[in-house]
């Protein structure tokens, strides 16, 4: 005997696209997207990044053209990563603080061209500028020395803020850097410059393509001594709470897809806006599979972005931002 189905049929609301869209619980708007860019230290030039198809290192001229096109698509927020001038890398990464560096020069031109129509976020970390590739100053034992590493970060953040960057985003994972940066910014008259903390940044294998793009791979050793242990989640909520107490305006979890549980945990314990960084390895994996016909790039990329949003992220930093808007994926 076949039992007659009951009155309650959840499938009724899945029957058509219009119904599904009407009752969708999770939505993404263009304003949530942040597009990362790799900025060359010179005015002109573009360089392909083999491990990140569709992404380039760009000089300021090419960058401004790209930003104008992206702005018309609806991308109103960018995250800038600077590359060092050839021969300028040093043990303390001092060239990161130069007013003539890639980010300060690019930021000044971006703000002159677009004003407040475009939000400029800058990554603050000395790893692309140190000759050893680590995110701070090394001690005699070859390990990153936390407190001496704060001063170069301060100088770098101040250079960015003076150039007009709206949000500085320290990604170094040094203890105490948020309070130190907040005090320095305020004392220098940059109290309106916001702080987006890479509060929860794991020592992840997903960063490989990024290190190609930014020329920032450590020469020896790894970053497990200062970036977070991939096995921990309670530590993530502690890191987030500390940065909130120290004056962060926004928080970030990085990477995103392998850490959706962490995004949820931080979202539930902090009232600050939360960003998820859909990192280079996550992007490259989708690209590689799509190129081989193994995955539908549009559908998988959107599934990934919706997963981050569903987990609790308010801000989505993704290399797929341009394709998502140009292709009408949202």
pLDDT of residue 193: 98
Provide the pLDDT confidence category of residue 6 given band limits of 50, 70 and 90: confident
CA distance 175 to 52: 31
Domain presence at residue 7: no
Domain CATH for 249: 3.20.20.70
Q: What is the pLDDT of residue 284?
A: 97
Confidence of residue 10 (pLDDT cuts 50, 70, 90): very high
What integer is the mean pLDDT of 224-248? 96
The answer to the question of residue 21 being in a domain is: no
Residue 19 lies in a domain: no
Indicate whether 293 belongs to any domain. Answer: yes
Q: What angle do CA 209, 275, 314 make, to 5 degrees?
A: 135
pLDDT of residue 142: 83
Number of domains in the chain: 1
18 within a domain of the structure (yes/no): no
Pick the catalytic residue from 72, 201, 224, 287: 201
**Short-list 56, 73, 50, 58, CA closest to 291:** 50
The top-scoring range by mean pLDDT among 43-57, 131-145, 217-231 is 43-57
CB 283 within 8 A of CB 235: no
Question: Is 17 inside any structural domain?
Answer: no
Q: What is the pLDDT of residues 288-303, one digit of tens each?
A: 999 999 999 999 999 9
Is residue 72 flagged as an active site residue? no
% the chain with pLDDT above 90? 86
Q: Is 201 a catalytic residue?
A: yes
In a domain, 119, yes or no: yes
Task: Give the pLDDT confidence score for residue 1 in this predicted structure.
Answer: 58
- Structure confidence at residue 191 (pLDDT): 97
311: domain range?
A: 28-326
Cα–Cα distance between 189 and 162 in angstroms, integer?
9
Distance (Å, whole) CA 119 – CA 79 = 9
Give 316's contacts (C-beta < 8 A, 6+ positions apart).
28, 32, 33, 34, 275, 276, 278, 305, 308, 309
The answer to whether position 301 is within a domain reads: yes
CA distance 317 to 35: 6
């Amino acid at each position: 005997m076949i039992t007659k189905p009951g009155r309650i049929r959840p499938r009724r609301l899945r029957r058509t696209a219009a119904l599904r869209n009407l009752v969708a619980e999770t939505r993404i708007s263009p304003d949530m997207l942040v597009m990362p860019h790799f900025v060359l230290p010179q005015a002109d030039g573009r360089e392909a990044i083999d491990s990140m198809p569709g992404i380039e290192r760009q000089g300021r001229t090419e960058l401004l053209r790209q930003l104008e096109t992206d702005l018309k698509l609806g991308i109103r927020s960018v995250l800038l990563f600077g590359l060092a001038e050839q021969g300028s890398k040093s043990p303390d990464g001092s060239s990161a603080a130069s007013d003539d560096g890639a980010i300060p020069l690019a930021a000044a031109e971006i703000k002159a061209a677009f004003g407040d129509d475009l939000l400029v976020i800058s990554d603050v970390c000395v790893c692309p500028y140190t000759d050893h590739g680590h995110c701070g100053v090394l001690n005699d034992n070859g390990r990153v020395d936390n407190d001496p590493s704060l001063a170069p970060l301060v100088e770098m953040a101040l250079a960015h803020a003076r150039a007009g960057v709206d949000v500085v985003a320290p990604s170094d994972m040094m203890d105490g850097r948020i309070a130190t940066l907040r005090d320095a910014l305020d004392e220098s008259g940059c109290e309106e410059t916001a702080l987006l903390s890479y509060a929860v940044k794991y020592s992840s294998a997903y960063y490989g393509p990024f290190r190609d793009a930014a020329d920032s791979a450590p020469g020896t050793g790894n970053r497990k001594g200062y970036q977070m242990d991939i096995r921990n989640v309670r530590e993530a909520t502690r890191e987030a709470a500390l940065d909130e107490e120290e004056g962060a305006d926004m928080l970030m979890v990085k990477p995103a897809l392998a850490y959706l549980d962490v995004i949820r945990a931080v979202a539930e314990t902090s009232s600050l806006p939360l960003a998820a960084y859909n990192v280079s390895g996550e992007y490259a994996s989708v690209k590689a599979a799509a190129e081989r016909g193994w995955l539908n790039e549009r559908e998988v990329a959107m599934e990934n972005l919706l997963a981050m949003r569903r987990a609790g992220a308010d801000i989505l930093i993704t290399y797929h931002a341009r394709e998502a808007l140009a292709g009408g994926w949202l």
